[in-house]
């Protein structure tokens, strides 16, 4: 119930849009109360133009529908289940009360008599309409919980005939100080019924300018505070998203730097291994500017990559293959994978063997040769 009353009070503070939403919700709930067994009044199509623009477009109005017991069915309908207690809706919006019985005089008269003016007395001793109809205590407790003054709430419920919380709030917005608009004895004429009773015209009540309620200003302040909080939340979400993107960029940069560092370490290790080998005679400037990348496919299937000078000899390849396979170089054969020609001359350079700038060598163990000896 607190959620319902809070939503209604917030909507009333939104001006015409909020009042229109409350009025339309009241219409939907009244139809359900009038036809509780008819399912068509319990199902509301969300895409309905009026419902969508007046109620569904306001978040607080949607929350009020959910608080009343409505549930969303898929994305098309809003449904009030049959097991929802309708007494809650009846108490908040339309709580009917029996009208007081009026005893009409049976004394014949040709002239209409004048009815006394109705007013609300400030004390229980005053003989007034306030004495004949007491405020509904349940509705009064709702108004008090919403922050309304107890005495003003009593007067509002009496003035509206205990019809519900919303009518009482509307009355308070017109009469913020609980004053009752009285009529003089010359304004209202109540005829005494006779055998030939005719309609007696009643002078229209002069229009009263609706003052701004102090409760409305409170609701407006609350709405402004909620709007401020919503904008702050949106800003915080944007900042968090930017920080997340920045953190991802930093992480990617770190991974890339680590990858380059590992590649550099691998290149340094290869160069160090090459420097540990005996230095070959200094090549010409043309040869120093080129590099021979040799890949050795070992008998176990592993591939070893060497970065050598074109002036290096085939003997260097036999030595590396021997160290990798952990066997004597005389037990190995280095073959071209295309022509299957054996590199038997170990003294020729890589350039002379046609292994520059890149070359692929297949290393085999002589003991595993299956070909017939020649």
pLDDT in tens, 122-172: 443 444 455 557 888 888 888 888 888 888 988 888 888 888 888 888 888
Q: Contact at 8 Å (CB) between 163 and 19?
A: no
Query: Which positions of the chain have pLDDT values less than 70?
Result: 94-132, 178-219, 271, 273-289, 369-374
Strands, DSSP E only, in 198-243?
A: none
How much is the pLDDT for 102? 40
Domain topology for 290-368: Ubiquitin-like (UB roll) (3.10.20)
Cα–Cα distance, 153 to 272 (Å, whole number): 94
CA–CA separation, 310 and 288 (whole Å): 8
Nearest to 213 by CA among 182, 168, 160: 168
pLDDT at 251: 93
How far apart, in Å, are the Cα atoms of 281 and each of 288, 319, 320? 11, 18, 19
H-helix or E-strand containing 1? none
pLDDT of residue 174: 87
Angle formed by the axes of helices 165-174 and 2-12, nearest 10° = 30
The pLDDT value given to residue 244: 93
**Overall CATH class of domain 2-92:** mainly alpha
pLDDT at 235: 93
The pTM assigned to this predicted structure is 0.31
CA 232 to CA 237: how far, in whole Å? 9
Res 207: pLDDT: 53
Residue 82 CB contacts under 8 Å (≥ 6 apart), including other chains: 42
In the chain, residues under CATH classification 3.10.20.90 are 290-368
Report CA torsion sign: 134, 138, 144, 146: negative
Cα–Cα distance for residue pair 140/152, rounded to 1 Å: 10
- Residue intervals in the chain for CATH 1.20.58.2190: 2-92
* Digit-coded pLDDT (tens) for 91-115: 777 654 333 434 343 444 444 443 3
């Amino acid at each position: 119930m607190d959620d319902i009353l809070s939503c209604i009070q917030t909507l009333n503070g939104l001006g015409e849009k909020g009042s229109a939403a409350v009025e339309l919700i009241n219409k939907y709930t009244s139809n359900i109360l009038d036809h509780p067994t008819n399912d068509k009044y319990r199902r509301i199509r969300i895409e309905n133009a009026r419902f969508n623009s007046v109620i569904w477009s306001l978040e607080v109005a949607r929350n009020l529908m959910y608080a009343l017991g409505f549930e969303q069915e898929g994305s098309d309908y809003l449904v009030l289940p049959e097991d929802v207690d309708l007494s809650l809706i009846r108490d908040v919006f339309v709580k009917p009360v029996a009208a007081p019985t009026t005893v009409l005089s049976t004394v014949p008269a040709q002239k209409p008599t004048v009815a006394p003016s109705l007013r609300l007395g400030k004390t229980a001793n005053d003989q007034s309409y306030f004495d004949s109809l007491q405020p509904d205590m349940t509705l009064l407790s709702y108004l008090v919980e919403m922050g309304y003054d107890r005495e003003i709430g009593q007067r509002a419920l009496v003035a509206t005939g205990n019809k519900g919380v919303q009518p009482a709030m509307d009355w308070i917005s017109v009469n913020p100080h609980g004053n009752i608009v009285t009529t003089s004895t010359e304004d209202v004429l109540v005829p005494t019924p006779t055998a030939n009773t005719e309609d007696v015209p009643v002078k229209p009540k002069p229009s009263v300018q609706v003052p701004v309620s102090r409760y409305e200003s409170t609701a407006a302040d609350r709405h402004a505070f909620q709007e401020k909080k919503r904008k702050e939340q949106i800003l915080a979400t944007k900042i968090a998203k930017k920080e997340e993107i920045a953190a991802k960029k930093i992480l990617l940069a770190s991974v890339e730097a680590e990858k380059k560092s590992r590649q550099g370490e691998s290149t340094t290790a290869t160069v160090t291994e090459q420097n540990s080998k005996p230095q070959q005679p200094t090549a010409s400037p043309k040869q120093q500017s080129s590099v021979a990348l040799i890949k050795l496919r070992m008998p176990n299937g592993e591939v070893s990559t060497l970065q050598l000078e074109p002036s290096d000899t085939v003997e260097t390849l036999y030595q590396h293959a021997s160290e990798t396979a952990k066997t004597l170089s005389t037990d190995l054969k280095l073959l071209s994978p295309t022509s299957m020609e054996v590199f038997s001359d170990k003294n020729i350079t890589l350039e002379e063997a046609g292994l520059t700038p890149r070359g692929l060598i297949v290393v085999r163990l002589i003991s595993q040769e299956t070909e017939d000896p020649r």
